[in-house]
Amino acid sequence: MNVGANEFLIAGNGAFVYDMQKKEIIYKNYIERQKILKIIKICEENNIFYTIYTPDAVITKTLAYNSLFYNNENKKNALDKKININITEDIYNYIQDYKKGDFLKITICDNDKYIFAGIMNKLRKIRNVDVLDVGHMSRKLIKSGTEEIEIAYFYTEITNKNVNKWTALNNLIKILGISKEEVIGIGDNINDKELIEESGMGIAVGNSCPDIKQIAKDIVSDNNNSGVAEAIKKYITNV
């Protein structure tokens, strides 16, 4: 199925919009280096796992939680589709020396509910950032030989203020001169909340978290059973 989706790309949970034809970023809202460094210090002082994202790479101290999942996904991806995972022991100095300032987000993970709640309280005191409020554990399956192993953990995403998929998409809507009623938003997790709520047609895939299913106008198959393709076939009649 070809829907001609080769014009724009929204990435980093809405931190930037990329024009694929002109090969340029047309909208961006990156998190500042000093805020990243402040968050790193909090994580290091509290022995909390964190991962930093740029448009080109995932930066982590070790393969665990979400970076372990991405590393496992790399085994299935073609060479040109692999995620660049940079493993470095001293992330603080790495970020200080990093030449660009294109920090999309930082994710923080822990499998202890109470430790995670404590770090969330500290993070919410940082000004001019958005801390995603996730009330459930993330659960992902990774393959180990013929077995599937579940990794489960509490997590949050920290971005610059007002970064989300809907804000980025709304900027693109203005550029294209269309209305939000013409937009289909498909998602599965709490960071898709605004996208599902504001789109003309907000759709949840079958394995979405309960909060997203509650606000969606329709629910399709899960993303392991072509849920997105099902939604496109159902609502885009010329495909």
pLDDT digits (tens, 9 = 90+) for 25-64: 999 999 999 999 999 999 999 999 999 999 989 999 999 9
In Å, what is the CA distance from 14 to each residue of 1, 163, 168, 174?
A: 26, 6, 5, 15
pLDDT band at 4 (very low <50, low <70, confident <90, very high): low
99 shares its domain with 196: no
Q: Is residue 3 part of a domain?
A: no
Angle between helices 113-123 and 33-45 (to 10 degrees): 140
Least confident residue range of 70-84, 132-146, 185-199? 132-146
pLDDT digits (tens, 9 = 90+) for 165-186: 999 999 999 999 999 999 999 9
The domain in which residue 138 lies consists of 33-160
In a domain? residue 173: no
Count of CA atoms in the C-beta half-sphere (13 A) of 214: 5
Inside any domain, residue 200: yes
Distance, CA of 88 to CA of 62 (rounded, Å): 8
What's the distance, CA 163 to chain centroid? 11
Same domain, 49 and 138: yes
Q: What pLDDT is attached to residue 235?
A: 87
Q: Is the dihedral of CA 209, 186, 205, 202 positive or negative?
A: positive
Q: Are residues 53 and 96 in the same domain?
A: yes
Sign (positive/negative) of CA torsion 168, 127, 192, 184?
A: negative
* Residues 85 and 59 placed together within one structural domain of the fold: yes
Which has the higher per-residue pLDDT, 181 or 209?
Answer: 181
Domain-located, residue 166: no
Q: What is the CATH number of the domain that holds 213?
A: 3.40.50.1000
Burial letters 47-69, b for 16+ CB under 10 A, else e: ebbbbbbbbeebbbbeebbbbbb
CA dist., res. 114 & res. 136, Å (int)? 13
Higher pLDDT, residue 162 or 143? 162
Number of domains in the chain: 2
For 79-132, write each residue's pLDDT tens digit: 888 889 999 999 999 999 999 999 999 999 998 989 999 999 999 999 999 998
User: In residues, how long is the chain?
Assistant: 239
Per-residue pLDDT, 191: 82
One domain, residues 146 and 58 = yes
CA distances from 20 to 23, 84, 104 (A): 5, 20, 19
**Token pair recorded at residue 59:** 């930066």
